[in-house]
């Protein structure tokens, strides 16, 4: 009898909850439109996989559902934002509510949770952000010019002497700039242990960096599965990757601390912050050490791929659009002279076309096509649509930067779109590539400068043409960091004058 009463009571409670849910759903505004899901699993099987270029899929869906669309994913309601207007309204103007991050369960298992870009919106994140911004704010940039100039000179000589290894040389250039600035360490151009460390660590992000690439992101309790259980392969992968991430964070940091102990450390982000910490006798030393180590690691990791992608995309564009290279060389010859010297940062105001090339390279191939996912702190209503609390918000930077209304012929590499002429305004700068609102990339200024001086110097001294019997493809990888697919090219000194300068 008691069992029957209990069953009746539970049935009544279930009915009451259902009626309350129906009543609430009738009162609240509708969710944004999106693909019709299946019972119980919603849109779980509709979410495009990383290898399927999800940013292109979301951009196509926008034509049907509008610039904000909803995916009903069990335990993880997701809103995809496909336009600059909606991104500005939500992620910029309402940034207090949209600056959080999802839990990134897989990335946390891999050891990336201590990286500022993936942290939840909190005081812990603010302490990291404040330290980073103090060192890499715009007024601090001239202090890094000598390092960037030296790294670029080495890049030019390497490209001239062994052009077939141009990808390696460009990666070394980026690694040298970051390692010298952050750790005071000189990278070995013939193959460096620390550059190898960050490469191995970043390989895991390239595979698992997009939220939802692994089911555990949607069902976090899966992380408690025993390693031996079928389907728990992701746990074994995460543990293997975690060692590389920990090494990337710890080993360069310890190198700088040891150099300081010997009195051999040049000025760097780490050495200056450690010295500052000692001078003010910080009470909570372990916490401040962790912040310095974490912030240095995120600068190291974030700078390793981003500038490489921009420079490689520019080289690819020179092969596919030789008129762009010719126009850039003419501008540099007029300002710098042909084969007289290397371009310097003081030349930049007189080189608007080089600026336009850098902007177009970032727009043409978005470094992070889907950015890093945001999360709502509380529920919201936008354009009459209901956005749940705790929803994952994906800003589709690729769709925004390939919107034909803002960028006519968006698949064409055309730096002139950023040059005002004939009374026409220039097209919008591709700032969305750096993220949105309070989570915008704080290292964007030094990253753009590093790419700018490299591209200006390469164009001034070298000539890039298609390799014999090899046609480069205007295709990019579908990982979280989108690289040009491997291609070949021929690199030579532009003339006897530039050859003499390189020699």
Phi first, then psi: what are they for 382, rounded to 5°? -135, 125
Q: Which class for 21: exposed (0-12), middle (13-18), buried (19 or more C-beta within 10 A)? A: exposed
Burial 275-304 (b: 16+ CB within 10 A, else e): eeeeeeeeeeeeebbbbbbbbbbbbbbbbb
Confidence of residue 19 (pLDDT cuts 50, 70, 90): very low
- Record the tokens describing residue 22, joined without a space: 């129906």
Over residues 13-34, the mean pLDDT reads 65
Binding-site members for heme are 441
Strands, E assignment, 377-441: 380-382, 385-387, 392-395
- Short-list 189, 158, 160, CA closest to 175: 189
Confidence of residue 24 (pLDDT cuts 50, 70, 90): very low
Confidence of residue 280 (pLDDT cuts 50, 70, 90): confident
CA 90 to mean position of chain CA atoms:
20
Q: How far apart are CA 399 and CA 297, in angstroms?
A: 30
Q: What is the pTM of this model?
A: 0.90
Partners of 80 in beta bridges: 69, 394
Pairing of strands 78-81, 392-395: parallel
The pLDDT tens digits of the residues spanning 473-487 come to 999 998 889 999 999
Answer whether residue 436 shows pLDDT above 90.
Answer: yes
The pLDDT tens digits of the residues spanning 232-275 come to 788 888 888 899 899 999 999 999 999 999 998 999 999 999 99
Binding-site members are 441
Spatial contact of 354 and 452, defined as CB atoms under 8 Å apart: yes
Lowest-confidence segment of 70-74, 226-230, 409-413, 446-450 by average pLDDT: 226-230
Answer whether residue 305 shows pLDDT above 50.
Answer: yes
- Record the tokens describing residue 51, joined without a space: 């290898």
Confidence of residue 281 (pLDDT cuts 50, 70, 90): low
């Amino acid at each position: 009898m008691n069992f029957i009463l209990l069953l009746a009571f539970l049935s009544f409670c279930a009915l009451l909850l259902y009626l309350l849910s129906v009543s609430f759903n009738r009162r609240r505004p509708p969710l944004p439109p999106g693909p019709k899901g299946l019972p119980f699993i919603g849109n779980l099987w509709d979410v495009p996989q990383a290898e399927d270029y999800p940013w292109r899929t979301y951009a196509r869906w926008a034509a049907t559902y509008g610039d904000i669309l909803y995916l009903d994913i069990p335990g993880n309601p997701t809103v995809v934002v496909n336009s600059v207007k909606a991104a500005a309204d939500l992620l910029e103007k309402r940034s207090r509510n949209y600056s959080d991050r999802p839990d990134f369960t897989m990335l946390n298992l891999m050891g990336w949770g201590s990286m500022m870009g993936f942290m939840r919106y909190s005081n812990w994140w603010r302490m990291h952000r404040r330290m980073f911004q103090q060192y890499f704010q715009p007024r601090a940039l001239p202090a890094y010019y000598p390092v960037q100039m030296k790294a670029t000179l080495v890049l030019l000589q390497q490209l001239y002497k062994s052009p077939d290894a141009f990808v390696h040389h460009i990666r070394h250039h980026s690694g040298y700039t970051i390692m010298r600035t952050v750790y005071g360490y000189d990278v070995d151009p013939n193959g460096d242990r620390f550059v190898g460390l960050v490469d191995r660590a970043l390989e895991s992000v390239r595979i698992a960096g997009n939220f939802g690439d692994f089911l555990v992101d949607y069902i976090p309790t899966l992380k408690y599965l025993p390693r031996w259980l079928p389907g728990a392969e992701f746990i074994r992968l995460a543990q293997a990757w975690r060692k590389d991430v920990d090494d990337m964070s710890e080993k360069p940091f310890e190198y700088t601390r040891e150099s300081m102990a010997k009195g051999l450390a040049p000025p760097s982000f780490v050495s200056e912050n450690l010295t500052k910490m000692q001078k003010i006798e910080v009470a909570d030393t372990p916490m401040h050490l962790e912040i310095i180590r974490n912030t240095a690691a995120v600068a190291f990791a974030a700078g390793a791929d981003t500038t490489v992608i921009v420079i490689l995309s520019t080289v690819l564009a020179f092969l596919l659009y030789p008129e762009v290279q010719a126009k850039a060389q003419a501008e540099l010859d007029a300002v710098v002279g042909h084969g007289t010297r290397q371009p310097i940062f003081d030349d930049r105001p007189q080189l608007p076309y080089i600026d336009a090339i850098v902007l177009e390279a970032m727009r043409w191939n978005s470094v992070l096509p889907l950015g890093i996912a945001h999360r709502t702190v509380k529920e919201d209503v936008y354009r009459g649509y209901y956005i749940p609390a705790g929803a994952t918000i994906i800003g589709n930077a690729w769709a925004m930067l390939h919107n034909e209304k803002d960028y006519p012929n968006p698949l064409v590499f055309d730096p002139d779109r950023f040059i005002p002429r004939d009374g026409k305004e220039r097209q919008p700068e591709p700032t969305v590539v750096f993220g949105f609102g309070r989570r915008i990339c704080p290292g964007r200024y030094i990253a753009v400068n590093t790419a700018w001086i490299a591209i200006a110097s390469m164009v001034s001294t070298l000539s890039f043409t298609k390799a014999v019997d090899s046609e480069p493809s205007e295709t990019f990888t579908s990982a979280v960091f989108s690289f040009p697919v491997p291609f070949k090219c021929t690199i030579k000194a532009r003339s006897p004058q530039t050859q003499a300068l390189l020699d």
